Amino acid sequence: MDWTRSPYAISTDPSRLQRETIHAFLVNSYWAKGIPREVVDRAIANSLSFGVYEGGRQVGFARVVTDRATYAYLADVFVLESHRGKGLGKWLVEVILAHPDLSGLRRWGLVTRDAHGLYGRHGFTRLAHPERHMEIVDPDVYA
């Protein structure tokens, strides 16, 4: 599927994804620092991915880990710094939440350190019952 807001486009076509661009951003991100390229490729292969493009150049990305029935986890959302401030992050989240394969889900999840305002505009809130949630975190898994 494709969405256009000239000069930008968002696409779920996996053949358009520029894996080098995605890996170059994620390997330096606070949430995936040091992530190996093969892990990024495996994550993309097992997710519904959204690329943001200006012409033929990828300038943003997000992926959704989902069963397409009850749950979705929004991950690895970014817009390259040179394209920030143009509403692309907001548009990307709007497109993702409106995707037909993701409609009617019971729950969405995400983790962010610094984008609460962006996601809050789209209905995301802090955990209503954090005492019910559990996790295993290995921050050095890529080291």
Q: What is the pLDDT of residue 1?
A: 84
Q: What is the pLDDT of residue 47?
A: 98
Q: Is residue 7 part of a domain?
A: yes
Q: Is residue 140 part of a domain?
A: no
Q: What is the pLDDT of residue 135?
A: 94
Number of Cβ within a 10 Å radius of residue 29: 12
Q: What is the pTM of this model?
A: 0.94
- Domain of residue 112, CATH code: 3.40.630.30
The H-or-E segment that residue 116 falls in is: helix 116-120
Q: What is the pLDDT of residue 74?
A: 98
Provide the 3-class DSSP secondary structure of residue 42. helix
Token pair for residue 106? 């019971």
Q: Is residue 142 part of a domain?
A: no
Give the structural domain span for 62. 2-132
Q: What is the pLDDT of residue 132?
A: 95
Token pair for residue 94? 């709007």
Q: Is residue 118 part of a domain?
A: yes
Total domain count for the chain? 1
CA distance 61 to 75: 9
The residues of the chain scoring below 70 in pLDDT are: none
CA distance 68 to 103: 8
CA quadruple 1, 56, 117, 95: dihedral, nearest 10: -10
Number of Cβ within a 10 Å radius of residue 65: 15
CA distance 63 to 9: 16
CA distance 47 to 64: 6
Q: Is residue 137 part of a domain?
A: no
CA distance 38 to 41: 5
Q: pLDDT tens digit string along 62-101? A: 999 999 999 999 999 999 999 999 999 999 999 999 999 9
Q: What is the pLDDT of residue 52?
A: 98
Q: Is residue 143 part of a domain?
A: no
CA distance 88 to 5: 9
Q: What is the pLDDT of residue 67?
A: 97
